[in-house]
Amino acid sequence: MSQQQSGLEAMQEELLAGMARRPDEARMSVVEHGIASLHAKQNELSATLQGMMSLNAAGEHVGSMDKVAVAAMLQPLQQRIGQQETDLKEMRSKVEQLRVSDTEVLKGEMATVADAMTTLCVKIEEMDTLKAVNDRLSSELGTVAKALANLADRVDRLEGKTPTNSIASAGAEVASAPTPRDPRRSERKAPSPRRWLQEPLSVSVGRCSDVPGILQSSEHLLSRPTTQGLL
């Protein structure tokens, strides 16, 4: 108490010294701030005095009681404190269990997402590979078809016949000159080279069966001995 009182006196002296040093404009604000601080300190002192008086009264009351009564009075408080500590431990344990379970669930979900991403990347790479293979096979098939057409032209030249440029051009010529047996041939059109390369062999053979020149040339090519073609 004496230390706090001396502290208040020191604050008052500092206020007076500050008022003497500062000009009149800032003096009012300093005084107001100091007065508010003094009121706060006085309230703290009064609260401390009241608490000390209450403790003294309680000590006198407890001193007049026997030990059994004091223990009986403190037992509910101790039980309540113990129950609160137990509840806190249970809450901490539950929070830790929830944290661990949530962490495991999140790890599982992250692993699932990672596996899905890996599978998706593999599928994309496979699609790119298949596309590249498909493009390469289409290019090779076009090269083979062109070589076959050139070979057919060479065979026709060796036989003294008019060379045919390609099956598609022959089909276009036949389509432009329909026979009277089938009046609907005037409505037919020769397939495009891309479609001709992509359609099945049975469809191409069925179409070639309606073109006598192509069928005969193909049969003649297949029936000719190999040595004659080499000569």
What pLDDT is attached to residue 207? 57
Prediction pTM value: 0.29
State the burial class of residue 174 (Cβ atoms within 10 Å of its Cβ: 0-12, 13-18, 19+). Answer: buried
What pLDDT is attached to residue 92? 80
Mean pLDDT by 10 residues, the chain (231 residues): 58 60 54 66 69 63 61 74 79 81 84 84 82 83 84 79 52 44 48 61 55 44 44 38
Structure tokens at 202: 């049975």
Helices 201-208, 167-176: crossing angle, 10 deg rounding = 40
Which residues are within 8 A (CB) of 7 and not within 5 positions of it... i.e. 6 or more apart?
Answer: 41
What pLDDT is attached to residue 47? 74
